[in-house]
Chain A
Amino acid sequence: MGSKWNKSSLMGWQFVLLPSALILLFSFYPMLQSLLLSFQSGKGTVYQYVGLANYGRLFSDPMFKQAVLNTLLYLIVQVPIMLMLGLVIAYFLNMPKLRFKGFYRTAIFLPCVTSLVSYAVLFKSIFAVDGILNKMLMSIHLIQEPVAWLMDPVWAKVVIIAAITWRWTGYNMIFYLSAMQNIDPSVYEAASMDGASKTRQFFSITVPMLKPIILFTAIISTNGTLQLFDEVVNITNGGPGNSTMTISQYIYNLSFVYTPNFGYAATVSYAIVVMVAVLAFLQLKVGGEKQ
């Protein structure tokens, strides 16, 4: 019996050997390399080991602080809005009486299959000084002068938040929708008979039953927001000033726009790794099942 298990296990190992080797080579090896790199500093290929100096620099770097603050702001404001919106939309799309469901689902999901760059360019042109939004607001006399959305530090952030919300709400909605369809309708029937209102049902049945899915979407959204890059680069390029710059853009700048310092860029990358890990841990602690 034992030898048979060994034989099939050997067979299994043969199958996972190649993928494992590839993962080790292309995923774990670079991680280790970049960790080593984060202890070096210099320009381009002129490097030296500096110990923890890069990590020290991180804490006194105003640009890094600015990037972290911007990114966290996106996270704190955008993720809850997006998840709530996704949940509400999914709830309405799940109503049995709703007509043209297929159309609505497709329409709301469509943004997240558009190309990152093209939708960013589209947002940029909508919010331009002589863009369509200003024209609309002026034609209904809500504003007198065109607003320079992308040149105001606050409005620029709002535009970025609107852009990512527009693109990713549909993505989260799909998760919620499929989870909702797994809830037994009889639960709602029973609740209705007991006199629970629709709102009450939503908060007391739907949301609690979706908890694992909400946790999952919260973690992937956090992860995604911390790595935000395309939208900011294409809509505002980090401006005005550096008021919309994200950590990922800062890493890109350190590597490819400034005099390249790949060592310090690796250090900043590891800062993201730590933040993602800590936030995911916190979310699991707060929202996870208590064993």
Chain B
Amino acid sequence: MKKWLSMLLLVSMTASLLAACGSSNSNSAEKGGNEAGSGGTKKVVAWAWDPSFNGAALKIAEDLYKKDHPDFQLEVIDMAKADLEQKLNTNLAAGVKDGLPDIILVNDPNIQKYVTAYPGTFADFKEKVDFTQFSPYKVDALRIEDKIYGVPFDIGVTGMFYRVDYLEEAGYKAEDLENITWDEYIEIGKVVKEKTGKYMATINPNDEALTSILLQSAGSWYITPDNKGNFVDNPAMTETLRVYKAIADSGIAKPVTGWSEFVGSFNAGDVATVVSGVWQIASIMDAQDQSGKWRVAPIPRLNVEGGVNASNEGGSSWFVLEESANKDMAIDFLASTMGSSTEFYERFLTENGGVGSFIPAFSSEVYNQKPEFFGGQAIYSDFTRWSTEVPGISLGMYTQEAKDALKNELPNILNGADLTQSLANIQKHFGQQVQ
């Protein structure tokens, strides 16, 4: 009797366990985005990381696409960026494809990494989208060998946001900020600090955003197009680190340790300028009480050959999984909305303040709007004009490794170590990291 009971217990436990496995399997298959639902509706699943930005863009695209394809359905799964990347990596490494979506958002520095590490995983868009319509540097990032993997999405063209009230108090006019070099920027910063008591900028030795902006503005990057370290004998790199140290030494920069402190510094009115990507507009406008006090100028340039007053920070693109069951539909969806529709970019800018890299949209009326917050400056048309000046670079596949190698040496550089020696150290370190 007892034996019989225990057997029953065992069987029921096993059964319930297997049932649990089974049900989770069928769930993930559904999430994978096979034709789900009844009545012939087609569902495409997309992963994105910011519901109020790229998630919202997908919703606009869905709205537009549904006009011609009424049975189209899009499911947006929102995750933190790090979670999304981790999930993609583990799924692909494990070879489990049915948990993956049809469409996925990829941060630009990750493009080469994913395509090289997981060959054959992502669909080619070369014949599906007219890439001459996009800012060239965005397309360069997507082109690997003779394929173009995805649709360019938002850009991170940079500008120098500044507090017009602080700078006027220090005796500067808008013209004084046009086409300056970083050394001139530091000089202005010293005056601002002296006359207003406000910092000119923020500095975070643990964040490589500023060095990235400086490098790209001179058409250079941490790594060469063939994925070698680009630290030694690179004038742009040397100048970047010299400027970085000069900013740190001059006392014009407020030290911050993280993103929220960085945003907090300008929302609280502690700094006079913010050099950042165009997507920073949203955070700047969060401080409603500062309306009318902000303007945007081009960023300062590096005093080296090829240095321009325009750069880029961040940006992302949409990829489609090659083995997705709805590959063709997903490609068609992206190509006919974000890949070719001016209307999409108009709505994306109006509703979410997002600036894409689709050139035909730049001449649209909404790009000429003059937000009250920026004192009536036509900031979007300024940003798009600068975006055409950004030097195209190859991001390569080891950006993160190179940044970490640099980060490792940065405290020594800031403490006054010999720059040539430090650069050699970084190069060596990087070489060891990517073997």
**Could you tell me if B261 and A128 are in contact, using CB atoms closer than 8 angstroms?**
yes
Interface residues of chain B: helix, strand, loop or mixed (majority):
helix
Q: How far is the CB of B203 from chain A (nearest CB, A)?
A: 9
> Interface stretch among A178-186, A200-208, A234-242?
A234-242
With the chains together, A158 CA to B184 CA distance in Å?
A: 38
**A 247-266 binary contact with B (CB < 8 Å = 1; else 0):** 00000010111111010000
Known: A151-B205, A153-B411, A260-B117. A253 touches B255 (CB 8 A): no
| Beta-carbon contact of B411 and A128 below 8 Å | no
**Which of A114-139 touch B at CB < 8 Å?**
124, 128-130
Partner of A44, one of B118, B204, B256, B401: B118
Residues of A within 8 A of B6 (CB): 11, 14-15
**Chain A, Cβ-Cβ closest to B13:** A18
Indicate if the CB atoms of A11 and B3 lie closer than 8 Å. yes
Chain A 221-242 interface mask (CB, 8 Å, partner B; 1/0): 0000000000000001111111
CB distance B255 to A129 under 8 Å? yes
Q: Are A148 and B429 in contact (CB under 8 A)?
A: no
Contact of A151 among B3, B255, B435 (CB under 8 A): B255
Which residues of chain B are within 8 angstroms of A129 by Cβ–Cβ distance?
254-257, 261
Segment of B85-93, B153-161, B361-369, B375-383 in the binding face: B85-93
Residues of A within 8 A of B434 (CB): 259
A148 contacts B257, CB within 8 Å? yes
Residues of chain A with a CB closer than 8 A to B119's CB: 45-46
Task: Kindly identify which residue among A44, A45, A151, A241 contacts B407, using a CB–CB cutoff of 8 Å.
Answer: A241
- Min distance, Cβ B323 to any Cβ of chain A, angstroms: 13
Instruction: Output the nearest chain B residue to A146 by Cβ-Cβ distance.
Output: B255
- Cβ of A63 and Cβ of B408 under 8 Å apart? yes
B255 touches A241 (CB 8 A): no
Contact A259 B116 (CB under 8 A): yes
Q: Answer yes or no: A43 CB below 8 A from chain B CBs.
A: yes
Residue of B nearest to A63 (CB): B433
Q: What's the Cα separation between A62 and B397 when bound, in Å?
A: 21
For B205, the closest partner residue in chain A by CB is A240
- Residues from chain A with a CB closer than 8 A to the CB of B404 are 63, 242, 253, 258
Q: Evaluate contact between B408 and A66: CB separation under 8 angstroms.
A: yes
Cα-based distance from A210 to B261 in the complex (angstroms): 46
CB distance from B352 to the nearest CB of A (A): 27
Please determine whether B205 and A256 come into contact, CB atoms closer than 8 angstroms.
no
A140 to chain B, nearest CB (A): 22
Contact yes or no, A242 B408, CB < 8 A: yes
**Chain A residues within 8 Å of B92, by CB:** 44-45
Min Cβ gap A60→B in Å is: 6
* CB 8 Å contact bits of A22-46 with B (1 = contact, 0 = none): 0000000000000000000001111
Residues of chain B in range 107-142 having any CB-CB distance to chain A below 8 Å: 113-114, 116-119
Q: Which residue of A lies closest to B406 (CB)?
A: A241
B225 touches A (CB below 8 Å):
no
> A134 CB to closest chain B CB, in angstroms?
11
Alpha-carbon distance A61/B82, docked complex (angstroms):
25
Q: How far is the CA of A255 from the CA of B117 in the complex (A)?
A: 12
* Cβ contact of B113, chosen from A63, A66, A243, A259, cutoff 8 A: A259
A259 in complex: contacting residue of B3, B10, B398, CB < 8 Å:
B398
Q: Which of B382-435 contact A (CB under 8 A)?
A: 397-398, 400-401, 404, 407-411, 429, 432-435
Number of A-B contacts (CB under 8 A): 115
Task: Report how far A43 CA is from B254 CA in the complex, Å.
Answer: 39
Which positions 258-290 of chain B face chain A at CB distance < 8 Å? 258, 261
Alpha-carbon distance between A60 and B429 when the two chains are bound, in angstroms? 10
Contact check, B257 vs A44: say whether CB atoms are below 8 A apart: no
Residue of A nearest to B398 (CB): A259
**Contact indicator B10/A15 (Cβ below 8 Å):** yes
> A57 and B435: CB pair below 8 A?
yes
Contacts A46-B117, A129-B256 given; does A60 touch B432 at CB 8 Å: yes
Q: Is there a chain A Cβ closer than 8 Å to B25's Cβ?
A: no
- Knowing A44-B93, A45-B95, A151-B205 are in contact, say whether A124-B258 is a contact too (CB < 8 A): yes
B408 near A260: Cβ-Cβ < 8 Å: no
Knowing A239-B205, A240-B205, A241-B410, the reply to whether A62 touches B429 (Cβ < 8 A) is yes
Does A150 make an interface contact (CB < 8 A)? yes
Q: Is B234 positioned at the interface, with any CB of A under 8 Å from its CB?
A: no
Assembly CA distance A258 to B89 (angstroms): 11
* Residue B28 at the chain A interface, CB threshold 8 Å: no
Question: Binary interface profile of B, 9-20, with partner A (CB < 8 Å = 1, else 0)?
Answer: 010011001000
A256 and B92 CA atoms in complex are apart in Å by 12
Is the C-beta of B27 less than 8 angstroms from some C-beta in chain A? no
Name the residue among A44, A61, A128, A242 with the largest chain B CB count within 10 angstroms.
Answer: A44
Complexed CA–CA distance, A43 and B113 (Å) = 8
Q: Give the residue name and chain of the A residue nearest to B255 (CB).
A: A148
Is B206 in contact with A237, judged by CB distance below 8 angstroms?
A: yes
Specify which chain A residues have a CB less than 8 angstroms from the CB of B407 in the assembled complex. 239, 241-242
Q: Could you give 26 example pairs across A and B, Cβ below 8 Å?
A: A15-B6, A18-B13, A43-B113, A44-B92, A44-B117, A45-B92, A60-B432, A62-B408, A62-B429, A124-B258, A128-B258, A129-B255, A148-B257, A151-B206, A151-B255, A153-B411, A237-B206, A240-B206, A241-B408, A241-B409, A241-B411, A242-B404, A242-B407, A256-B82, A258-B404, A260-B93
Q: Which residues of A contact B (CB under 8 A)?
A: 11, 14-15, 18, 43-46, 57, 60-63, 66, 124, 128-130, 148, 150-151, 153, 236-243, 253, 255-260, 262
4 A-B pairs with the lowest CB-CB distances in the bound complex, closest first: A44-B117, A239-B206, A43-B117, A150-B257
Given contacts A14-B7, A46-B119, A151-B204, 6 further A-B contacts (CB under 8 A): A129-B255, A129-B256, A242-B404, A253-B404, A259-B117, A260-B89
